[in-house]
Amino acid sequence: MFRTQDQLQTKFEARLQRFAEEYLLDLSPSGAARRAGWKNGAVGMQLLRRPDTQRIVAELMAERRHRLCVDADTVLQALLMQLERLTAMLGQDLAELYSENGQLLPVKQWPAIWRERLITGIDTSQAGTSDDVTETVKVKRESTLAIEKQITEVLCKIGDHTQVKAFPTPGDKLAPREAIEITVVHVGDRTGVKIEA
């Protein structure tokens, strides 16, 4: 049985639609091509260069943004809030967990940032007799190195952000743009982030 040109075109358009839908799952052209029915995943890059595929992908992305009510500014704002929270963690002083006379405060009296994020474990032990009990409390804090690693990861995400474009991807047309400067500022025992465009 022979298929008409219109039938072949309709089948191809359906496969392109499926390719675009699959592409949005993981942004892998070769994986999307295979999942859409092409045997050779390398065809994915060729499909992405087609104007009709680019149009379908753009439409699907716009539908998803509208459905999720998320845009590039929302993502950037969330990343900046995460960066601010992480840098605030660097400026915390262990002395905030102790009273004036050097006694460990009850956990409920600790600053929220310690209770919610900075403490990775607490070990308590008791020693002595029934009349003379000594309680030892060891507080395990998240390491500064781990926090700095998380800050670096967030800064990279901000740099990759569609509006910032600090790290161009292959195929990007590099056009003159304003620079964005992100600085981690330490003032006394506090840490913050300064962002200038």
Taking only the tens place, the pLDDT of each residue in 91-106 is 778 788 888 888 888 8
Which domain does 59 fall in, by range? 5-68
Q: Are residues 85 and 135 in the same domain?
A: yes
Interhelix angle 51-68/5-26, rounded to 10 degrees, is 50
Confidence of residue 178 (pLDDT cuts 50, 70, 90): very low
Domain boundary residue among 53, 68, 83? 68
Q: Are residues 86 and 141 in the same domain?
A: yes
Q: Are residues 124 and 167 in the same domain?
A: yes
Q: Are residues 27 and 40 in the same domain?
A: yes
Distance CA 36, CA 44 (A): 10
Among candidate residues 167, 165, 169, the one with its CA nearest the CA of residue 177: 165
Cβ-in-10-Å burial (0-12, 13-18, 19+) of 117 comes to middle
Q: State both tokens at 47.
A: 């499909």
Q: Are residues 57 and 119 in the same domain?
A: no
Domain boundary residue among 37, 52, 68? 68
Q: Which residues contact 80 (CB under 8 A, 6 or more apart)?
A: 158, 193, 195
Distance CA 179, CA 172 (A): 17
pLDDT given for residue 175 in this prediction? 45
Distance CA 141, CA 166 (A): 33
Quote the number of domains for the chain: 2
Q: Are residues 75 and 64 in the same domain?
A: no
This prediction's pTM: 0.42
Q: Are residues 113 and 190 in the same domain?
A: yes
* pLDDT, tens only, 38-69: 898 889 999 999 999 999 998 998 888 777 77
Distance CA 122, CA 97 (A): 13
Cβ-in-10-Å burial (0-12, 13-18, 19+) of 60 comes to middle
Q: Are residues 103 and 35 in the same domain?
A: no
Distance CA 9, CA 36 (A): 16
Q: Are residues 84 and 62 in the same domain?
A: no
Q: State both tokens at 17.
A: 């639609």
